Chain A
Amino acid sequence: MKMPNGKHAATIPIQPVGGKSAAFEYLTTKKDELIGWARKFSLFPYPFVTACCAMEFMAVSSSPYDTDRFGAALPRFSPRQADLLMVVGTVTHKQAPVLKTVYDQMCEPKWVMAFGVCATSGGFYQNYAAVAGIDKIIPVDIYVPGCPPRPEMVIDGIMQLQALIARSKHPILTKDF
């Protein structure tokens, strides 16, 4: 089922489906909760780092504000091995094909976090060079504004993403598989 903003089928929120029995619904709901719990606590971020927000990304990954507590510490620098694409910093038009390629190379299920206002909306770079928000190129699941955002905001973003993953549907058979 495709959402209006083009999100992928793996992360649609749960909606009642007509024609299935209550027992089936119960089992699939429990399966979704189990898979959601597993996926949300084992996020492998791909830090697509470009600019100043990288400083706060380093800070949030380190000892004072640890993302390891949330299971989201181990960065995977290959898109094939990652499931959370954190776009950290401004994406310019020159960088846009690179971002799209990296996003396309990631396997399902994948989520995208727009880290910082430049990734969210272009920030205060409204000119010929910067893309005014990465959602013009790839679908985004969670927006963390800030210039750069405080580490607590990033952690709040990760927690909200975890809540989103927890309440999503996780079909075993998707249209691609």
Chain B
Amino acid sequence: MEAKLPNPVRPAFTASERDDTVIVNIGPSHPATHGTVQIIAELDGERVLRTDVHCGYLHRGFEKECESHTWHNLIPYVDRLNYVSALINDFAYCEAVEKLMGIEITPRCRYLRTLLSEYSRLVDHLTCVAAGLMELGAMTAFLYLVMIRDYMYEHLAALTGARVTYTYGRIGGLARDLPDGWLTRLSEILVQYEEFVARVHGLVDRNRIFIDRMRDVGVISTKEAINWGYTGPILRSTGAALDLRKDTPYLAYAELDFDVPVGIKGDNYDRYYVRMREMDESVYMMRQLMDMLPAGPINVDDRRCVLPDKELVYTEIESLINHFKVIMDGPKVPAGDVYSAHESPNGELGFYLVSTGEGVPWKVHVRAPSFVHMGGVHRMLDGYQFADIVPTFGSVNMIGGECDR
């Protein structure tokens, strides 16, 4: 036998409090922990007494990697934070850098970023609800939602070139403009989305088993949620209508007409329903944006960060040098620091950037909502049944790339 492998974590409790309790380890390689989270639970029969949540199994050194890449070259790393809604990460990061550089993006870019952010929100909520329902046994609902998500992936691949992690945002704009027929296909997909989601609503919403498993499970109050740092759909499910898109509008959200759905109790069912309603609001916003999208250039005309046209690069020496400098040294971002937050499908996704005037950042820090939520998830797990860990954890939507960075 080989030597025993070391345990990478030190649990908070190893001995049971009482004689009749048992300590169980869930994860980190587990179907229902959405990747890599370890939950050590002390159980009294089927009831959970206390839990110790260990994340960090997907810590890939994002912040350290960013310190050795130029401001542009680190956009693929940023993508892989919340990999289910990758475009929102891109745009939040690019907006933070643009704030530091004092760049204002073009109107077309602004509306398009808003449209794509809402599209990413759709994809994220579809994935979360699909995975959550599958873990409860509703395989059909999972297949319906993943089918429509697949249409969206193919559609985004037609625009950006990739299905899951796009690297589409650029400092000062976007990588490329919409191809022909993209918006027509988007309208078709939104109609198909409504059809699929209506089927899922019919299967799940008033299903006795679903309600019994999700109602009054994983309850958290608004005050407690805010104290433990919850933002996004989890906070809104407790009844507080707090949404960065309404409270501190950014991109084109101030011009859109949309509601912020809230729950009543802060339990799993409310989180499910808030996500479903948010998806409908996103579709409504996207339809408004498709009508409002102005013509014009995608990238702002700023030679510090936007690459010149290829024709100019091949014919003029100034453009060649400009292109070379932006690629090799990176755009020179003025010294200073900035914190810029977007409303990601999980909550407040913030980027804190520190620049010393170089083309390479001094520090890139992500305020990841999933990580903060992991700190408070034990408040929703303790006191409930062991089998409730799975749906509650699924409703928190912990995304490993964002949580562990």
Q: Is the C-beta of B172 less than 8 angstroms from some C-beta in chain A?
A: no
**Tally of chain A residues near chain B (CB < 8 A):** 37
Stretch from B2-10, B264-272, B330-338 that touches the partner: B2-10
A80 to chain B, nearest CB (A): 14
C-alpha spacing A101/B142, complex, angstroms: 30
Residues facing A in B26-42 (CB within 8 A) are: 28-31, 35-36
Closest chain B residue to A79, Cβ basis: B29
Q: Once the chains bind, are B61 and A127 in contact (CB under 8 Å)? A: yes
Q: Let me know if B164 and A50 touch, CB within 8 A.
A: no
**Would A124 and B77 be within 8 Å (CB), given that A52-B83, A56-B163, A90-B60 are in contact?**
yes
Stretch at the interface among A22-30, A59-67, A162-170: A59-67
Given the known A-B contacts A63-B143, A75-B31, A124-B76, are A55 and B60 also in contact in the complex, defined by CB atoms under 8 Å? no
Residues of A near B164 (CB, < 8 A) are 52, 55-56, 148
Q: Could you say which of A51, A64, A100 contacts B150, with CB atoms under 8 Å apart?
A: A64
In the complex, which of the residues B76, B131, B146, B153 contacts A63, with contact meaning CB atoms closer than 8 Å?
B146
| Contact between A48 and B29, CB atoms less than 8 A apart | yes
8 Å CB interface, A64-96 against B: 64, 75, 77, 89-90, 92-95
Asked, given contacts A50-B58, A50-B400, whether A62 binds B147 with beta carbons under 8 Å apart, the answer is: yes
Classify chain B's interface size. 35 or more
A51 touching B401 by the CB < 8 A rule? yes
Q: Residues of A contacting B61 with CB < 8 Å?
A: 125, 127-130
- Closest beta carbon of chain B to A89's beta carbon, Å: 7
Minimum CB–CB distance for B253 against chain A, Å: 26
What per-residue 1/0 map shows which CB atoms of B144-165 lie under 8 Å from chain A? 0011011001000000000111
- Given the known inter-chain contacts A64-B147, A148-B164, please indicate yes or no for A89 contacting B35, CB distance below 8 A: yes
A9 at the interface (CB under 8 A from B): no
* Distance of B369 from chain A, by nearest CB (Å): 17
When distances are taken between beta carbons in the complex, the residues of chain A under 8 Å from B65 are 124-125, 127
Residue ID in chain A nearest B142 by CB atoms: A62
CA distance A147 to B31 in the complex (A): 22
Residues in chain A near residue B60, CB distance under 8 A: 51, 90, 92, 125, 127, 129-130
Binary CB contact string for chain B from 67 to 110 against chain A (1 if under 8 A, 0 otherwise)? 00000000011001001100000000000000000000000000
Of B29, B57, B150, the most chain A CB neighbours within 10 A belong to B29
Contact of A58 among B9, B57, B146, B165 (CB under 8 A): B146
Q: Is the CB of B147 within 8 A of A98?
A: no
Which listed residue, B8, B76, B130, touches A94 by the CB 8 Å rule? B8
Complex A-B: 11 CB contacts under 8 Å: A51-B60, A52-B80, A52-B164, A56-B163, A58-B146, A59-B146, A62-B150, A90-B58, A92-B57, A95-B28, A125-B61
Besides A62-B146, A95-B57, A101-B5, 7 other A-B contacts (C-beta < 8 A): A49-B29, A55-B127, A59-B150, A77-B30, A98-B8, A125-B61, A129-B61
Using CB atoms and an 8 Å cutoff, list the residues of chain A in contact with chain B. 47-52, 54-56, 58-59, 62-64, 75, 77, 89-90, 92-95, 97-102, 124-125, 127-130, 147-148, 150
Q: Which 4 A-B pairs have the closest CB atoms?
A: A52-B83, A127-B61, A97-B5, A129-B61
Q: Chain B interface (Cβ within 8 Å of chain A)?
A: 5-9, 28-31, 35-36, 56-61, 64-65, 76-77, 80, 83-84, 127, 130-131, 142-143, 146-147, 149-150, 153, 163-165, 400-401
